[in-house]
Structure 1
Amino acid sequence: MASSVKYGSLPFGEQISFFRSKIAIPTKAWTDIYAGEHDHAFMVAGAARMAIVEDFQKTISDMIEQGKTLADFRKDFDQIVERHGWAYKGGRNWRTRVIYETNLRQSYHAGREAQMADPELRKARPYGLYRHGGSTDPRPEHLELDGLVLPLDDPFWDVWSPQNGWGCTCKKFMVSEADIKRLKLQPAAKAPDKKSETRVIGIRGPNPREVSVPVGIDPGFEHRPGANRLRGVTPNQIDEPIRSEPGRTFPSRRATSELPAARPFGGKLLSADLPDREYMESFLAEFGAGIGKPATFIDATGERIAISEALFFDAKGRLKVGKRDRARYLPLIASALKSPDEIWVAAEWHRATGQAVLRRRYIARFEVDGQDTPGISVFEWGRAGWAGVTAFQSYDEYIASFRQGVLLYQREE
C-alpha cells in the first residue's frame, strides 16, 4: 500500500476485488451510506452527481491497483473538481486525505478479512491479535486493546476489527498457538465488556439521527470491513419455521396432490459430536461454498440464494449451528434445497418482527438407512431468516402442515 498510509505492502487481489465490486452511489451527506453499507457502495460525501462519484471511484481504484500516493490522488482530485465544478466542503488537504486514506485502509482491511476467512489458514492460525497503531495521540479505548487475543470467530471482531475510526491505524493479525507462546501473549477468557453510547450523526445534514456505537469507535466504523458482503444478502438462522399468529393468516392453498414418493438418501448423516466448524463446512461444501468463500445457488425455479457461513449466525451475530442431535441432519436439509420434491411460496405474519414476510419452503422426503419411516426435510428461506426441519414423521397431517401457499415446483417422478 502507498507509503502515506503506512499499512500493509502492495495491493493484493482480495483488496482489489472488494473495491471493484462496489457500486457508485451519489449522496448529499456522509450519513446517506452508513457502516456495513460501504461494503457494497462507493460514495464521496456531498458528491450528488453520478459522474463525479464515478470519476472518484475510478481514480481511487487506480490508487489501490497501482500503489499510488496521496500526492497522486490530490492531482486527480483537483482535475475532477475543476472538470465538474464541484463545490465541496472542507479544506482540500483534509478532504483529500480523508477520502484517500479511508478508502485505501478499509479496502485493505476487507481484503485481509477475506484472507483470514480461509478455512485452512484459520485452522493454522485461529486467533486474532489486536495491535494499536502507534499514534502519538492515541484513543484510550484503542490503546487498552493492544495485545488482546481472541478466537477469530468471537463476535467481538464483528465490531472491533480495524479500522475503528477516522484516521485509525490499528491492526488485526492472525496468530497461531506457537505465535502466542513466542510473543508471550495470553488469550483472553472472554471479550472485554465495551459500553455503548448514543451519538448524533449528520447534524449539519438534512437528516440528523441517533446511532448507538461502542465508546471509542467513531460512528460508521462499528463493523468488520467486508463482512456485510457475505451477510448482507444471506438470511440469518432462526429457531423455527415462520408461522402466522392466529388471526393473522393470509389466503393460502393447501396441497391437493400427493407428495412425490420418498427417494433413497444417497449421502451420509453427520456424527453428533463434531465441532461447529465441521458442521458448517459440510453444509457449505454441498453448494461449492466454504467459510470465507460464498457461493450463489440457483434453485429448481431459477431463484438465486446466497450461501455463506452467515447462514449459521443469528441476527445478533451469534453462532447457531444447532443442537448436536439436529446438526447431524444438515445433509438432509441441504438435499432438500438442492433437490426438492416441492417448492412452496407463501406470505406469513412473522411474530418476531411484527411484519408480513414472504417465505419459500423447500420440501423433500428421503429414505434414510437406519430409520423405519422416511424423513421429511424442509429448508425454509426468506428475508426474516432461514430455518431447517428434519423429522421422521409419516402421518399426513404433519407433512400437510408444510405443503401450503402457492406451489411453484413439483418434482416429476
Structure 2
Amino acid sequence: MQATRKTHPFLRYITKDDDRVRPAHRAWHNLTLPVDDAFWLMHWPPNGWRCRCRVVSMNRREYAAGRAPDGSPLNTTAPPFETIAHINRRTGEITQTPAGVDPGFGYNAGIARQQALAAVEQAKLKAAAANLAAAALKEGLQPPQVAREKPDQPTWKTLELPDLRELQPRMQAPELLARAESIDEAVSQLRATLGVPVGAARSVRTPAGDVILMDELLRHVVEKRLDARERYADFVLPTLMRPDEIWRTAYDDGTLRKRYIKLFKGAKYDILVIVRELPNGDVVWNIINRERGKMNALRIGDLIYQAE
C-alpha cells in the first residue's frame, strides 16, 4: 500500500457487511483515511480470530466523490483512540490493546512476512526504550525542574497561524477516567492505560520520531493532585500519534522540548504533551490540559509539524 500512496493515497476499511461482523468492526466499515494515518498502525485487518475484514486503496478522485463503489457514503473521520485492558489468565499480565482488536492483532497479522517485520520492529523499539531508560538513569535523570521558555522565539502570532479556537477538532474526545485516590493509584492508572511496564519504558511512534514513555517519570505527571491528570490518560497516545501541531521550544536551562498539541471534540480541555530531547532520544516529560484559548500561549518555538 505504501508503494502506491502517490496514486492511491487513501485506504478504505471494508467488512463483509453481514450479521457475523463484530460490532466494533462494523463501525469501521467504509472508514477512509490517508495511508499514513496512525489508525492503520494498530487496526490493520485481520483484527481478531476469523476476522474477514480487509483494506483497499483509493485514489483522490474516488475519495473526493465521497462514496464507495456500491454508493454507500465514506466515513472520513478517524475514530477516537481507545484501549481495553486484557488479563492473561495464565500469567496475570495486563496488556492494553485498541478497542475492537483482539490481543496480538495490533498490526497486520494476516501476512507472515509483515508479522515477522512487525515483531523485529517491536523488538528493536523495546530494546531502544530499555537502552534509553538505562542511559537516562545512568546520567542521573531527575524529574523535570522548573524552566522557562527562552525569549524571542516564534509564536503562532508571528507565524500568522489561526487561533486554535477557530479550528474544528477532528477527533472525538475519549471519556475522562476516574480520579485516583492516591499518587500511587494514579501512577498505576497511567501505567495500565499507556502500556508502560513497571520500572521500564515503552516506545510510541509519532510524526516527529519515536518517543519514550518512562515509568520513572510518570509520578511527576500526576503529583499535582488538584489537576488529577491521570483522568486524561486516554488522551495521551492520540496526542502523540496524531497531533495537530508539534512545536520545538528552547528553554532557559539549555534543553529543547517538543510540544505535541491535540484538539478534541466535546472536551472542555485540549491536551499538550511535553517531550524532552535527550542525546539518546525523546522522552515524555509532562502532560498539560488547557482550555483552547489558553493553549494558544503554549504555541512557541519552531513549528516542526502541522496536520493537514
TM-score normalised per structure 2 = 0.45
TM-score normalised per structure 1 = 0.35
Of Structure 1 and Structure 2, the greater strand share is in: 2
